[in-house]
Homo-oligomer: A and B are copies of this chain.
Amino acid sequence: MSSTSDDRRYVLTLGCPDRPGIIARITSFIAEFGGSIVEAGYHSDRESGWFFTRQAILAPTVPFPLDELRARFAAVAAELSPETDWQVLDSAARRRAVLLVSKDGHCLHDLLGRAASGELPATIEAVVGNHPDLADMTRAHGVKFHHVPFPRDPAERGPAFEQVRALVDAHEPDAVVLARFMQVLPAALCEHWAGRAINIHHSFLPSFVGARPYHQAFARGVKLIGATCHYVTPELDAGPIIEQDVTRIDHADTARDMVRQGRDIERVVLARGLRWHLEGRVLVHGRRTVVFD
């Protein structure tokens, strides 16, 4: 999503129970005021009987303000079903991301670099780390870094998580990115950030859930390793998957080699999943995602 005025878009996303006529109803609504649709994705999920769409309307072709577009569309949405779930994003509105990190900096560096190159459709508002290692690099990019030390005993981490929550929430982020955070979020925090907390897991899920997946992969003798970007839910590494990818390895690769090669996949999979999330391309339904990329 770009913010140049010519190219400004209102992005409508919607999910509702499927029935004939939905596309016609929505697109007629847009056509009535002369709106120009520049991207349109539709999906009828026959398994769940649910319908999903994402449509990007050129903002200059909408003859009234965004608020009025939302107010007018609310009536259409209600007419389609009381269960309709929808929103309209403005591509010109700044999106905000907060990153949670630990000691491993490769995903952080990548996202800071993308932000600097204009490749990330969001600003990185702050980085919170349970170790101070990545503070200098973060600040060199002009981004705030908060160090929240975590006690060794998992049972005593409650206050640290409370502090992280407060630091994150202060920025009202559109995305809370666990960029190799290495801490399991408490269930309450998962619920609180539901649909906004995004994790990168360093395996091709559902293979190798939990700790040290590359070592698990080495022990099993797989021929490809991967990474998975998913929404965080209370069940570990089991949230709806946004994106995955793999890379080939062979018998000569040690677990340490896999760690190194895996980083190239982790970086790209996280960056891609995060961009799709920020651009309103990801619709969640149960444990599955619809991605209009």
A82 beta carbon closer than 8 Å to chain B: no
CB atoms of B37 and A20 under 8 A apart: yes
A289 beta carbon closer than 8 Å to chain B: yes
A157 beta carbon closer than 8 Å to chain B: no
* A20: chain B residues within 8 A (beta carbon): 30-31, 34-37, 61
Tell me whether A31 and B39 are in contact in the complex, defined as CB-CB below 8 angstroms, given that A204-B224, A291-B250 are known contacts: no
CB atoms of B27 and A24 under 8 A apart: yes
CB atoms of A37 and B27 under 8 A apart: no
Across the interface, A219 reaches (CB within 8 A) one of B31, B287, B290, B291, namely: B287
* A171: chain B residues within 8 A (beta carbon): none
CB atoms of B39 and A252 under 8 A apart: yes
A113 beta carbon closer than 8 Å to chain B: yes
A204, A207, A223, most chain B CB atoms within 10 A: A223
- 11 additional A-B pairs beyond A20-B36, A47-B254, A221-B241, beta carbons within 8 Å, are A23-B31, A37-B42, A37-B44, A105-B116, A206-B220, A221-B289, A223-B242, A224-B226, A248-B248, A250-B291, A268-B268
A residues lining the B interface (CB < 8 Å): 20-21, 23-25, 27-28, 30-31, 34-47, 61, 104-106, 109-110, 112-114, 116-117, 119, 137, 140-141, 204-208, 218-224, 226, 240-246, 248, 250-252, 254, 260, 263-264, 268, 271-272, 287-291
